[in-house]
Chain A
């Protein structure tokens, strides 16, 4: 093992160190130490930041700011984040959840990154030293982004409007076949007035089900009315193939599980 770890007290200094070739940011270690253990020689140096502000959860005025070092366990047990808890609990087993961070999940390659799927559906904003970017843009550009994500902002979701589902073969915990998060606003008569759906494992990173979102508008959540949205769920997807499932299988079961989530 030849990894050099540099520890900084501020994000600014760490950002400068992160520009060196072969350098990766160390959050909880569940991605980069794993990669190094596996023999990924592209990682030669790690940078971490000890600023306690990165581990804070701040809730005010209907907004939630999750520091990038906040762990899945911290979200899962937070009394005011019960709507987000199912997505946080979907990540790993208890030990992984004590380590895996919000910031790291934004970089987790499929089939990992279930929490980022939820953040995508919630239209979160990622905060970096360079400014704030929508999570959708951040995920699309993550291979080239070099500024450390310091926090994620989300509008505090209401439990009744946010739905999350992870499908895995091993119970109670297993790697994702797929994950789906949906933020739905319904009119008093049950008609969908806005829909935002995030999909995991349907590309190398979380993506939106844009065609299904559009097809849901004006529908009631009945098997007949959501049928067009389910038929459109596969538009624009490029599922991964891994030992858990083939791309074909993932594409086949996506409408089934989306239907279950919407009708739940």
Chain B
């Protein structure tokens, strides 16, 4: 199978790779580029563990072909911390015990980030809706919802 060049921005830095045609973005990120923060769960679009932000929109990297991402701005959980300081969402997930096995966490955080970017003060219903495509088998969701609400509060306090 012929390889095709793919070039995009990942968490602010330029990446260029040759991938086999038909390679998913998830595979390219994890196995070619080495960003293992998006997780491969169901590969069916059901679990949300592979969620990444492409050009500001939440998408599933397992159902996105890498070669359709030419020139895109891709954000993953691995790029959230700055200078060793965790992103408010990451901090809130830790503080609220919103992570148990951790497999769903990067997808949850990406879904929550898109929400907070657009709706800085979300209601509980907004949070539930924003996370509705992400499955967690450990926490029962409540700590995750509380973490996202806490991160929103922390953001608005910092902004005040």
Contact = CB atoms under 8 A, between A and B. Distances in A.
Given A38-B44, A93-B134, A172-B132, A33 B57 contact: no
Interface string B21-52: 11110010000000000000001110010010
B23 A1 contact: yes
Contacts of B64: 29, 33, 99
Contacts, number: 91
A74 to B, nearest CB: 10
Nearest to B50: A95
Contact of A5 (B21, B59, B63): B21
Contacts of A38: 43-44
A3 interface: yes
A4 B22 contact: yes
Contacts of A92: 45, 133
A5 B67 contact: yes
A95 B24 contact: no
A70 to B, nearest CB: 14
Kindly state the interface size class of chain A when it binds its partner. 20 to 34
A83 B29 CA distance: 39
Interface string A1-19: 1111101000000000000
A36 B63 CA distance: 9
A199 to B, nearest CB: 24
Contacts of A34: 43-45, 63
Contacts of B134: 93
Contacts of A3: 21-22, 65
A185 to B, nearest CB: 32
Contacts of B129: 94, 172
A1 B24 contact: yes
**Residue from B2, B4, B130, B132 whose CB has the most chain A CB atoms within 10 Å:** B132
Interface of A: 1-5, 7, 26, 28-30, 33-34, 36-38, 46, 48, 73, 92-96, 98-99, 172-173
5 contacts: A5-B4, A5-B22, A34-B43, A96-B60, A172-B129
